[in-house]
Amino acid sequence: MIRRLPIIGVMGSGKDCREELARPLGRWLAQKGFHLLTGGGGGVMEAVARAFTEVEPREGLSIGIIPGQGGKEKGHPPAGYPNPYIELPVYTHLPDSGRKGTHPLSRNHINILSSDLLVFLPGGAGTHSELELARRYGKPHICFGTTSIKAAHHALSHEELFRLIPELLPAG
């Protein structure tokens, strides 16, 4: 029988890496035997993936859902995607992001639907659209490092976050 590891999606700023939040989270997820799923870009996505992949040995993979581009660049990811710490890149044709993050042509739907539980770090319009999708799809989620976003669960410390993740993971 194959043992399925839970997939924890970590969403946050593509520009600001928030090392103090992301790195301890990435290490903890790897040590606890989870897969990590991000959007595969820079900022928080790169910081959490780097910390995750530095843990050896580990069971889980660093998964990145990679956006596509339109126009003459169609079929190619944008510059900087995937970041060097993505072990399993999932390339998409979906170009929408940011304020268009809830549109049908956004990879954010895949990020949310493929995660068993989501952790939201501070971010911009793209992160907020992913949070909106998590609510829409009824996915368990935690906002970490901020209380300015309306969410069912907030964690202001790593200890609180590390207690909440196992509690909120769906059974199975």
Mean pLDDT of 5-16: 95
pTM for this model (two decimals): 0.95
> What is the residue extent of each domain of the chain?
7-167
Place of tokens 């990879």: 107
Q: What is the pLDDT of residue 148?
A: 65
Tokens standing for 150?
């309306």
Q: Give the E-state strand segments of the chain in sequence order.
A: 7-11, 35-38, 62-66, 88-91, 117-120, 141-144, 154-155
The answer to whether 9 and 40 have CB atoms below 8 angstroms apart is: no
- Between 2 and 63, the more confident residue is 63
Q: What is the pLDDT of residue 146?
A: 74
Q: What is the pLDDT of residue 71?
A: 66
Topology given in CATH for the domain delimited by 7-167: Rossmann fold (3.40.50)
Mean pLDDT of 134-146: 93
Residues contacting 4, CB < 8 A, separation 6+:
none
Q: Map residue 141 onto helix, strand or coil.
A: strand
Nearest partner of 47 among 83, 73, 79, judged by Cα: 83
Place of tokens 């580990």: 58
Model confidence pLDDT, tens digit, residues 21-76: 999 999 999 999 999 999 999 999 999 999 999 999 999 999 999 999 876 677 78
Please, what is the average pLDDT of the chain? 93
Model confidence pLDDT, tens digit, residues 109-134: 999 999 999 999 999 999 999 999 99
Q: What is the pLDDT of residue 172?
A: 65
Model confidence pLDDT, tens digit, residues 86-112: 999 999 999 888 889 999 999 999 999
Residues contacting 139, CB < 8 A, separation 6+:
112, 113, 115, 117, 118, 133
Place of tokens 């843990």: 55
pLDDT at residue 166 tops 80: yes
Mean pLDDT of 150-161: 90
